[in-house]
């Protein structure tokens, strides 16, 4: 079984979170490596009317983000890209991740780039560990994924107006 890609997930794709089924039930193969956190700090916020967790690519601000690392094949990576609307909405880029045993690896991570400051209006403060049912009181609202094949579905519209 060849799983050439390592992917770091910090939001709804983690085990026990609302979109883990995309990892576990869609086409492709995956295997858990374990828990880790970003070597660098980034803002992780929950934003939009849909309470979507997102890392803003602004290295040096925020926290070291906690998440999970998976090995995936090309087919599974394509499924993840589809959910994250890579490269239009979220961009997949290599990030250094420190595993629980202290080992540092390179893994793909999805983040949002080139955003206007207004994206932070109404968003949570920067967090380091996301759970949909967290103390933030902003559970993920999956209704935005309905019709995601339509390039104009609501979350895309919301994010598009907040990008440069």
For range 39-52, the mean pLDDT? 95
> Strand, helix or coil at 79?
helix
What is 5-160's CATH number?
3.10.490.10
DSSP string, 80-140: HHHHHTTTTSSEEEEEEEEETTS-EEEEEEEEB-SB-GGGGTTPPPP-SS--TTSTT----
- pLDDT, tens only, 89-134: 999 999 999 999 999 999 999 999 999 999 999 999 999 999 999 9
Query: Is 17 among the residues known to form the active site?
Result: no
Residue 60 clears pLDDT 50, i.e. is over it = yes
pLDDT tens track for 126-152: 999 999 999 999 999 876 555 555 544
**Cα gap 137→123, rounded to integer Å:** 12
| 35/121 Cα distance (integer angstroms) | 30
pLDDT of residue 153: 66
Counting residues of the chain whose pLDDT is more than 70, the rounded percentage is: 93
| Residue of 17, 68, 84, 95 marked catalytic | 84
Around 97, how many Cα atoms within 13 Å sit in the side-chain half-sphere?
A: 27
For the whole prediction, is pTM greater than 0.85? yes
pLDDT at 149: 55
């Amino acid at each position: 079984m060849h799983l050439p890609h390592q992917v770091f997930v910090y939001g709804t794709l983690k085990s026990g979170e609302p979109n883990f089924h995309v990892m576990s039930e869609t086409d492709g193969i995956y295997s858990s490596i374990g828990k880790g956190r970003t070597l660098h700090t980034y803002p992780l916020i929950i934003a939009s009317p849909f309470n979507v967790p997102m890392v803003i690519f602004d290295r040096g601000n925020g926290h070291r983000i906690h998440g999970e690392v998976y090995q995936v094949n090309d087919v599974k990576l394509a499924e993840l890209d589809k959910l994250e609307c890579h490269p239009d909405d979220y961009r997949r880029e290599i990030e250094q991740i420190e595993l629980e045993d202290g080992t540092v690896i390179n893994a793909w991570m999805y983040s949002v780039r080139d955003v206007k400051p207004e994206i932070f209006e109404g968003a949570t403060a920067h967090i380091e560990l996301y759970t949909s049912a967290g103390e933030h009181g902003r559970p993920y609202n999956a209704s935005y994924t309905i019709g995601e094949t339509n390039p104009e579905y609501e979350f895309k519209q919301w994010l598009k107006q907040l990008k440069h």
